């Protein structure tokens, strides 16, 4: 089964051709990162306009690279939420037009479930059930994946997402956008124990996260040092911040995996690209005889191959959309099934 996947939820225009949910024939990603960098974050109106310009050439390139014609595509899968409404609509409109004109099924995909599916591509033997930490620019969830199409959220952030915290701290430190890779680079030369930043826990919800207190603690420290005219220990701040984020993400995820008695933890979303998180999660999980899997780097951040993979399993489960499909900017996980 050949699926054409389309992803336009934020600032990446992407199209991919994937066979049976696992074999990627092409995964074309056109990032607008440079365009938004000068504003220090994604500007929704600019993102939508750029998606309109790029969507058809990106789809053409994906088909060409895959050596697949439109007629050979069995179904079209598209992200319909969560994300920026104007950005999502570009992909949804393109997918509807293609599927309608080809008379092929249209599949709607939840972007976060797509991030999770990136693991199916990198790990051909991975099968549910397992526990997945999804940590991205807008979301931080611990999810139990009972089957390919059944998701239960065990914990979520009550305020900022992990990736959002990386982006905001990077901005305060003048490291630019996106913040994750910049902080990871600076942290390599820093001491993770230089500063003790808060790690928040909730008694009533052991798998929930909160990163706004951590963010504020870092920002306050930076401002105090700046007021005193002291030099900023950027590397130490980055290393200590990164360790604080990794500590809670790892502790909560392993706690959930142990409670559910699962032998596999997956990580997904842009923050899954972080090498400290990968190493620390693997180390701590090994002590509990749990294996940790994560997608190859390119599949951690937004891409259409993961959408095509999730779409394949939705199609197998008989979940297709009709021509009324609309973007749902605040779509929650587990709602599309
Ligand atoms: P969402 O998926 O929640 O809608 P998004 O699509 O913008 O948000 P992703 O593309 O999954 O998010 O990931 C982008 C986020 O990942 C950014 O916040 C970025 O800072 C973070 N990120 C990317 N690489 C790294 C890294 N190496 N370390 C930490 N964070 C990272
Ligand atoms: Mg992005
Ligand atoms: Fe994303």
Q: What is the pLDDT of residues 61-114, one digit of tens each?
A: 999 999 999 999 999 999 999 999 999 999 999 999 999 999 999 999 999 999
Residue 228 is classified by DSSP as T
Question: Is this complex's ipTM strictly greater than 0.90?
Answer: yes
Tokens representing residue 30 in the block = 């056109």
The tens digit of pLDDT for each residue in 87-96 reads 999 999 999 9
Task: Grade residue 335 by pLDDT with cuts at 50, 70 and 90.
Answer: confident
- Which residue's CA is minimally distant from atom 4 of ligand 1? 138
- Of residues 326, 317, 248, 328, the one with CA closest to residue 75: 317
Percent of the chain exceeding pLDDT 90 equals: 94
- Burial label for 297, CB within 10 Å (0-12, 13-18, 19+), is exposed
Q: Which pLDDT belongs to residue 34?
A: 85
pLDDT(209) > 60:
yes
**Taking the C-alpha atoms of 316, 317, 322 and 325 in order, what is their torsion angle to the nearest 10 degrees?**
-100
Mean pLDDT of the chain: 96
Q: For position 263, what pLDDT does the model report?
A: 97
Over the stretch 153-183, which tens digit does the pLDDT of each residue have? 999 999 999 999 999 999 999 998 889 999 9
Given a cut of 70, whether residue 337 has pLDDT beyond it is no
Q: Say how far apart CA 168 and CA 180 lie, in whole Å.
A: 10
Structure confidence at residue 191 (pLDDT):
98
Nearest CA to ligand 1 atom 20: 180
Residue 121 Cα to ligand 3 middle (Å): 16
Measured from CB, residues less than 6 Å from any atom of ligand 1 are: 9-10, 82-83, 111, 115, 136-139, 163, 166-167, 178-181, 184, 269-271, 273-274, 301-302
Structure tokens at 292: 């940790």
Q: Is residue 136 marked as binding? A: yes
Q: Is the pLDDT of residue 32 over 90?
A: no
Instruction: Report whether 15 contacts 64 (CB < 8 A).
Output: no
Q: Is 180 annotated as a binding residue?
A: yes
The pair of structure tokens assigned to 126 is 């991975």
334 contacts 152 by C-beta, under 8 angstroms: yes
Query: Is it true that the peptide bond before 80 is cis, omega within 30 degrees of 0?
Result: no
pTM, whole model, 2 decimals? 0.96
């Amino acid at each position: 089964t050949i699926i054409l996947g389309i992803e336009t939820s934020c600032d990446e225009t992407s199209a991919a051709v994937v066979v049976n949910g696992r074999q990627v024939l092409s995964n074309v990603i056109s990032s607008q990162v440079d365009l938004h960098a000068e504003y220090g974050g994604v500007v929704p109106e600019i993102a939508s306009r750029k998606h309109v310009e790029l969507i058809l050439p990106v789809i053409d390139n994906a088909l060409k690279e895959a050596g697949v014609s439109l007629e050979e595509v069995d179904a079209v899968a598209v992200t319909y939420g969560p994300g920026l409404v104007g950005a999502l609509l570009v992909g949804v409109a393109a997918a509807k037009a293609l599927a309608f004109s080809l008379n092929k099924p249209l599949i709607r995909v939840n972007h976060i479930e797509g991030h999770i599916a990136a693991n199916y591509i990198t790990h051909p033997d991975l099968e549910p059930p397992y526990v997945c930490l999804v940590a991205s620019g807008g979301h931080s969830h611990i999810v139990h994946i009972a089957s390919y199409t059944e998701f239960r959220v065990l914990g979520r952030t009550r305020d900022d997402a992990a990736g959002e915290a990386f982006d905001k701290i990077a901005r305060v430190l003048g490291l630019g956008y996106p913040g994750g890779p910049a902080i990871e680079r600076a942290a390599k030369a820093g001491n993770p124990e230089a500063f003790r930043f808060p790690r928040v826990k909730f008694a009533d919800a052991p798998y929930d996260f909160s990163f706004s207190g951590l963010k504020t603690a870092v920002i306050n420290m930076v401002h105090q040092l700046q007021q005193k005219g002291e030099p900023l220990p950027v590397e130490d701040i980055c290393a200590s911040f990164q360790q604080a984020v990794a500590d809670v993400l790892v502790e909560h995820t392993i706690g959930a995996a142990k409670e559910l008695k699962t032998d596999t933890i997956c990580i997904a979303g842009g923050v899954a690209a972080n090498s400290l998180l990968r190493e620390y999660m693997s180390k701590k999980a090994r002590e509990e005889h749990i294996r940790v899997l994560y997608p190859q780097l390119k599949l951690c951040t937004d891409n259409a191959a993961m959408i095509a993979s999730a779409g394949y399993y939705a199609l197998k489960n008989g979940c297709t959309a009709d021509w009324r499909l609309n973007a749902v900017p605040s779509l929650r996980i587990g709602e599309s099934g």
